[in-house]
């Protein structure tokens, strides 16, 4: 990088005059010296000048990073489709300062973060030579929710395929194009409200103006997804340039949040340039009511890779949640429980120590003595955190009338079946895995069936942890085998994982049909982390012919979520009841104690149903 320091004037009005003066670097052969930033950005996702040399492009430095800086034209054109900001890659700490008016000569390039094909690119100027024209200039800013309003429903339509080769660019209606039209610019978010907790990377999803105009707000301050609405109005605050605080859903900030708009890991992000200060005014964690004497309570609980090696604080947090927030359910369908050695790849598959520590923590928190049933998987055969050998299982208490029906013989590879005993459906193995050799469950958790009795009533329960969408895994290198990002290069994004969940749903549905073929009035519960939405093909494959009733689908939309990702509140954890159970008086609840909070025992909220069954 070459640097030429010009006059150090204060007034931005002197900037234009200085550009006309002598002493600037000569333009390289073939370089256009009349180009402005909006010409480089163009009304598209790829610069019309990509690969070309440009000279003496003017702008004011709005932010600096360790490898370059952002600058913005203080004299924008009247075309809102063309961004007025741009990143200049210096590959070293830049010598310019915020507020410097500069001219930049270099090569227009498109940088694809992490060289991941599904990511969009960031338009840049590389190999720059620059001139500082003046300093201490005021900074341009665009206020979201005042100067520009993001679309509220559509991320991208009317241009299927690779958006980088499309000639359709609609920033007024399409969120993907809207944020691209602001790429590199300095933005301000007034009255920002957090719609997701601060994640482990320091990212915070927000809405502008306290969510004014957002599609469907949850009752606790988030924003819910719908079949054709994944909330393009969300924007993620990044801590790359300044610190973000730990916030929860519904929290606000002391001052307006300001930064430059960038793109990484499948999302547009506002790189804040001043530390944000939290106003902790989000809602408190929820507590469900205790079951009545004649109510059977059944819950789902994701323990997020709990292993015997996990910190005792995590066991205590989960135990407190079970006892205090869930009121010690009769049956808990547990998923993401790891073996005794956790992430250590030593061939261990048993999880008895993990379970023992959890049961002890529950009792220490004032809860009842729980029992456990599960099947240890084969080593590294069930996906997830592979060496941890995650599995599903049943955690249950027997002091209120629930008992497990043991039929021994189940192991990792032997399927359980359904048999007819005096006109009633019985499992051949309890606990037993459902069709564990089926291709639908390769490198994935196998569903677990168990038979229970509750005060003379018999139930068959199926615990599940279906193929993940890979939402979090994208940050760790899962790209070809994960669903494509919502704000990605290819639209609509390919749901790479969906077919496997459809296949898994079909296997479970067939198993339920075997039960119904023997006893149409059988009490059947299918529960767990199904990793998809109520309207999705996998859930339809499970419910279309089984007469299973999905309780989450019957919640009001503002309450219908168990997980928050990038600020989208959506339901991935479900409890489904057979008709005979569904017609009994019941009450279903998602207990919001985890997903909305930076300090969480799991990234999923538990769900619970209380059924009058006596």
> 383 and 430 share a domain?
yes
- CATH code assigned at 201: 2.40.50
For the beta sheet containing 278-279, the strands, ordered from the edge strand earlier in sequence to the opposite edge, are 142-144, 186-189, 257-264, 267-272, 235-238, 204-207, 193-194, 252-253, 278-279
Question: What does the pLDDT average to over 245-252?
Answer: 98
Q: In Å, what is the CA distance from 275 to each residue of 138, 243, 253, 432?
A: 20, 5, 10, 53
- As a whole-number percent, the residues of the chain with pLDDT over 90 amount to 91
317 and 235 within one domain: no
Kindly state whether residue 290 falls inside one of the protein's structural domains: no
Q: How far apart are CA 330 and CA 368, in angstroms?
A: 10
Residue 401: pLDDT above 50? Answer: yes
Task: Find the CATH number of the domain harbouring 52.
Answer: 2.40.50.140
The 10s digit of each residue's pLDDT in 273-323 is: 999 999 999 999 999 999 999 999 999 999 999 999 999 999 999 999 999
DSSP category for residue 280: -
Tokens of 410: 């189940």
Shared-domain flag, residues 259 and 362: no
d(CA 19, CA 133): 8
Token pair 């270099």 in the structure block, residue: 106
Please check whether residue 380 is in contact with residue 325, taking contact to mean a CB–CB distance below 8 angstroms. no
Same domain, 83 and 171: no
CA 307 to chain centre: 23
Same domain, 345 and 420: yes
Strand-strand pairing, 161-162 and 142-144? unpaired
Domain boundary among 78, 111, 134: 134
Q: What is the pLDDT of residues 519-550, one digit of tens each?
A: 999 999 999 999 999 999 999 999 999 999 99
Are 109 and 216 part of one and the same domain? no
Question: Per the domain annotation, does 459 fall within a domain?
Answer: yes
Q: pLDDT tens-digit profile of 433-478? A: 999 999 999 999 999 999 999 999 999 999 999 999 988 776 766 7
Q: Are residues 129 and 146 in the same domain?
A: no
Question: Helix, strand, or coil here: 138?
Answer: coil
d(CA 171, CA 166): 14
Tell me what pLDDT residue 523 has: 99
Nearest-angstrom CA–CA distance, 574 and 596: 18
Let me know the angle formed at the C-alpha of 182 by 36 and 233, rounded to the nearest 5 degrees.
170
- Residue 267 shares a structural domain with residue 300: no
**Sheet of strand 391-397, all strands in order from the earlier edge strand to the far edge:** 370-374, 391-397, 331-337, 295-306, 607-612, 586-590
482 belongs to a structural domain: yes
The answer on 331 and 435 residing in a single domain is yes
556: CB partners within 8 A, 6+ apart: none
Residues 148 and 130 placed together within one structural domain of the fold? no
> Residue 221: what pLDDT?
98
Domain limits for position 520 = 295-612
Shared domain for 302 and 429, answered yes or no, is yes
CB 399 within 8 A of CB 349: no
Residue 289 forms part of a structural domain: no
CB 89 within 8 A of CB 129: no
pLDDT score of 152: 96
Residue ending a domain, choose from 82, 100, 134: 134
Helix, strand, coil percentages for the chain (3-state, nearest 5): 15, 30, 50
Domain count, the chain: 3
What CATH number is attached to the domain comprising 548? 3.60.10.10
For residues 377 and 513, membership in a common domain is answered with: yes
CA–CA gap between residue 346 and residue 289 (Å, rounded): 42
User: Which one of 227, 247, 279 terminates a domain?
Assistant: 279
CA 395 – CA 118 distance, rounded (Å): 40
530 inside domain: yes
Could you tell me if residue 85 is inside a domain?
Answer: yes
């Amino acid at each position: 990088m070459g640097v030429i320091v010009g006059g150090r004037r204060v007034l931005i009005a002197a900037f234009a005059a200085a550009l006309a003066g002598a002493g600037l670097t000569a333009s390289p052969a073939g370089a256009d010296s009349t180009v402005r930033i909006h010409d480089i950005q163009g009304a598209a996702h790829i610069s019309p000048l990509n690969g070309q040399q440009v000279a003496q492009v003017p702008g004011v430095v709005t932010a600096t990073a360790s490898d370059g800086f952002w600058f913005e034209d203080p004299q924008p054109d009247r075309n809102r489709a063309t961004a007025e900001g741009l990143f200049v890659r210096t590959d070293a700490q830049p010598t310019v300062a915020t507020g410097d008016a500069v001219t930049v000569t270099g090569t227009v390039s498109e940088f694809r973060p992490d060289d991941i094909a599904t990511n969009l690119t960031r338009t840049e100027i590389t190999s720059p030579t620059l001139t500082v024209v003046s300093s201490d200039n005021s900074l341009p800013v665009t206020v979201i929710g005042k100067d520009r309003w993001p679309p509220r429903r559509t991320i991208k339509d009317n241009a299927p395929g690779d958006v980088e080769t499309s000639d359709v660019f609609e920033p007024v209606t399409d969120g993907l194009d809207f944020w691209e039209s602001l790429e590199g610019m300095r933005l301000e978010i007034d009255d920002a409200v957090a719609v997701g907790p601060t994640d482990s990377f320091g990212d915070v999803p927000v809405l502008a103006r306290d969510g004014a105009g957002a599609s469907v707000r949850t009752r606790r301050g988030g924003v819910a997804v719908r079949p054709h609405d994944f909330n393009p109005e969300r924007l993620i605050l990044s801590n790359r340039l300044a610190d973000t605080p730990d916030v929860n859903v519904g929290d606000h900030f002391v001052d307006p949040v300001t930064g430059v708009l960038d793109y990484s890991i499948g999302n547009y992000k506002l790189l804040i340039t001043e530390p944000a200060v939290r106003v902790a005014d989000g809602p408190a964690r929820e507590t469900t009511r205790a079951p009545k004497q004649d109510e059977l309570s059944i819950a789902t609980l994701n323990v997020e890779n709990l292993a015997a090696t996990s910190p005792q604080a995590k066991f205590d947090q989960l135990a407190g949640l079970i006892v205090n927030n869930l009121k010690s359910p009769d049956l808990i369908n547990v998923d993401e429980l790891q073996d005794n050695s956790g992430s250590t790849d030593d061939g261990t598959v048993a999880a008895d120590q993990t379970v023992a520590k959890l049961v002890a923590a529950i009792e220490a928190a004032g809860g009842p003595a729980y029992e456990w049933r599960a099947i240890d998987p084969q080593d590294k055969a069930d996906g997830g955190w592979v060496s941890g050998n995650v599995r599903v299982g049943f955690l249950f208490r027997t002091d209120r009338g629930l008992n497990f029906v043991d039929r021994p013989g189940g192991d990792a590879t032997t399927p359980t079946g359904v048999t007819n005993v005096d006109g009633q459906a019985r499992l051949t193995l309890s606990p037993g895995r459902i069709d564990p050799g089926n291709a639908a469950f390769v490198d994935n958790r196998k569903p677990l069936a168990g038979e229970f009795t509750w005060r003379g009533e018999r139930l068959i329960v199926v615990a599940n942890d279906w193929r993940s969408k890979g939402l979090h895994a994208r940050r760790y290198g899962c790209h070809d085998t994960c669903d494509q990002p919502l704000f990605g290069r290819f639209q609509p994004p390919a749901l790479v994982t969906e077919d496997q969940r459809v296949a898994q749903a079909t296997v479970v549905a067939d198993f339920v049909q075997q039960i119904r073929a023997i006893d149409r009035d059988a009490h059947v519960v299918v529960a767990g982390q199904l990793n998809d939405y109520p309207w999705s093909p996998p859930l339809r494959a499970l419910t279309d012919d089984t007469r299973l009733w999905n309780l989450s689908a019957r919640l009001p939309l503002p309450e219908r979520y168990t997980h928050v990702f990038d600020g989208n509140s959506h339901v991935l954890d479900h409890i489904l009841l057979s008709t005979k159970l569904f017609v009994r008086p019941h009450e279903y609840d998602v207990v919001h104690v985890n997903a909305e909070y930076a300090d969480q025992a799991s990234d999923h909220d538990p769900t619970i149903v209380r059924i009058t069954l006596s």
